Chains A and B, each alone.
Chain A
Amino acid sequence: MTWLFAPGFFASSPVHVALVVGGISALVCGIVGTFTVLRGQSYSGHALADLSVTGGSASFLANISPLVGFAGTGVLAAGVMDMISNRQPRGRDLATGIVRGAGLGLAALFLYWDATSSSTTGATITILFGSMFTVGNDAVPLVAAFGLPALAVVAVLYRPLLLSSVSPELAAARGVRTRLAGLACLLAIALAVSLAAITVGAILATALLVGPAAIALRLASTPGRATLAAAAIAVAATWLGIVLAYDSFTWPPTHDGWPVSFFIVVLIFVAFVAAQAIRPGRTLRARGTTPGSPADGMRA
């Protein structure tokens, strides 16, 4: 097996932490991501991941715990997005974009204010692109603090969320408070991507949120199976990416290792293209032409 697992892989402490922290982040993102994709909120997920730069820079400036900064920004941004959105897909994307733009503008200002040292520009790059091997041991409780509430929301609201994602009219008829369910879902997305952004970087947060769920929804036949499959695909891609990144320390040109995020993103992308080749089903709901059966809306 040395062709896959380079010598020292199982003995390395950073690798252990990366496997645990990356694995949990991937698990949470995969599960929450199923609802993100079902509801067509990939853009909100991406914007919230980018906004973690604002949270990071704000907590740096105010000298508070990054945990509070990340979670606070995520929840605040999700709340504002929900408040100003008019709940039509176009208007929602517009509102998302405006919040993202204003948030990143603030990030530019915060970074300027604490940019007396060059380390902050490095911090931006780290938040955006992430580096899993630099995650410390202390990240494990942090991961739990973010991941558990996100999973709890999905677990408690599983059925109403599913119903209001696939068919808002039916959900409303059954007495589901769709607006509240939508807000709860957006908050769960915010927690999941903040968790992923703080541990593995904003690119991977988007990738792990959208990719595995899109693959799973294309292949699985029921929402429950899709949720489990998304979690499994996310964890598998993350772990395989970590293995490859560890192997790449012997690769040219720098012999300093290729970034983990590159491997994970490429694995997810290839898997999505393959899934699309296997099941080239059209998305009825996204095109908005035919009101198909609830199961049709599931195809991502």
Chain B
Amino acid sequence: MFAPFMVNAWVTASIVAVIAGVVGFFVVLRGAAFVADAVPQGAFAGAAGASLLGINTLIGLGVFALAGALGIGWLGRNARRDVSTALILVVMLGLGALFLSFTTEYSEQIFSLLFGEVLGIATNEILPIAVLGVVCVLAVGVLYRPLLLTSLAPESGAARGIRLAWVELAFLVIVAVAASMTLPVVGALLIFSLMIGPPAAARSLTSSPLAAIGLSVVFALVTVWVAIAVSFETNWPIGFFVGVGGAVCYAAGRLAGWWRSTRPRPSAADQAGVVREQAGLGPVGQP
């Protein structure tokens, strides 16, 4: 399991899990599940386009993920968010269908892009993934307070001069970058499980944002590590264990939330105080 040829898989999957855990926290907080689902799946079409042109898959993924995220933001200005997301997604997938129809030899490669492939990662592929991952985490760090504030209290954020539209756009771009770097490993259809299962569980365990992000990363790491180990032992596809792992995290979180709700707990005002403190705001009552 820890043979030299598996080292790349462990390293890459761990980077992927950290990114998914951090970015996923904001996906869950902002209720952006559909966007986080649509961007990687649409970006998959970019990979098909890249293989048609004979360029690096990562470039195709990145271009499509960015175009998709910006398209969702643009179309969503005066349409329902779920409608604009669905339409941008189907347009990208329609282009993917077109690209696929132009090539003849695709099945194997496409299948691994859809459902993930950890074993085929070359050492020189780790560096770009790591660089993009650092960019993602740095971006989240820089935008931490605006992101948190606009997710929890949009009016208060707007009152403080935060441009909601720009924060939203920046968030979409972060999701796009995270999606395009994690997609080849976990697969277009399942990266999203990793982005919502662990953060959802973390959110139901703690109301402090920083602790939730930390827990979310830990859960995501455990999910991928277990997935790789069991996948290695059974030879079953890793996508299955990631998808089911995400659901298990979510179920555990719901159970924990239910358990907490049946016991005495801090009042809502206390919880709001914790959140506001973490967001760098004063006590409840101050703007």
Contact = CB atoms under 8 A, between A and B. Distances in A.
Interface of A: 37, 40-43, 45-47, 50, 84, 89-90, 93-94, 96-109, 111-112, 118, 121-122, 124-125, 128-130, 201, 203-204, 206-207, 210-211, 214, 253-254, 256-259, 261-262, 264-266, 268-269, 272-273, 276, 280-283, 286, 300
Contact of B33 (A93, A258, A280): A93
Contacts of B236: 109, 112
B102 interface: yes
Nearest to A38: B80
B115 interface: yes
B172 interface: no
Contact of A206 (B33, B86, B115, B247): B86
A254 B100 CA distance: 11
B15 interface: no
A202 to B, nearest CB: 8
Contacts of A89: 31
Closest 7 CB pairs of A and B: A105-B243, A101-B193, A90-B31, A265-B94, A108-B239, A102-B247, A42-B82
B172 to A, nearest CB: 16
Contacts, number: 203
Interface of B: 28, 31, 33-34, 36-38, 75, 78-83, 85-87, 89-91, 93-98, 100-102, 106-108, 110-111, 114-115, 187, 189-190, 192-193, 196-197, 200, 236-237, 239-244, 246-247, 250, 254
Contacts of B86: 42-43, 45-46, 206-207, 210-211
A265 B42 CA distance: 13
24 contacts: A43-B82, A93-B34, A94-B200, A97-B33, A98-B247, A100-B192, A101-B190, A101-B196, A101-B243, A105-B240, A105-B243, A106-B240, A108-B190, A108-B237, A109-B237, A111-B111, A112-B237, A207-B90, A210-B87, A214-B80, A259-B97, A259-B100, A259-B101, A264-B94
A276 B16 CA distance: 38
Contacts of A273: 75
A104 B81 contact: no
Nearest to B116: A108
A104 B190 contact: yes
Contacts of A300: 79-80, 83
B1 to A, nearest CB: 19
A100 B96 contact: no
A43 B37 contact: yes
A112 B243 CA distance: 15
Contacts of B114: 124, 128
A129 to B, nearest CB: 4
A283 B236 CA distance: 45
Contact of B97 (A100, A261, A283, A286): A261
A105 B244 contact: yes
Contacts of A90: 31, 33
A27 to B, nearest CB: 18
Contacts of B34: 42-43, 46, 93, 97
A150 B252 CA distance: 34
B33 A286 contact: no
A98 B196 contact: yes
Nearest to A108: B239
Contacts of B108: 118, 121
Nearest to B114: A124
B251 to A, nearest CB: 8
A201 B97 CA distance: 11
Given A98-B196, A121-B110, A129-B97, 19 more contacts: A43-B34, A46-B37, A47-B37, A94-B250, A101-B246, A105-B190, A105-B243, A108-B239, A108-B243, A111-B115, A112-B236, A125-B106, A257-B101, A258-B101, A259-B97, A265-B90, A266-B91, A269-B87, A269-B90
Contacts of A261: 93-94, 97
Contacts of A124: 111, 114
B5 to A, nearest CB: 20
A97 B240 contact: no
A206 B102 contact: no
Contacts of A253: 102
- Max chain B C-beta neighbours (<10 A), residue from A43, A105, A253, A258: A105
- Max chain A C-beta neighbours (<10 A), residue from B38, B101, B106: B101
B95 A262 contact: yes
A283 B78 CA distance: 7
Contacts of B254: 84
B79 A283 contact: yes
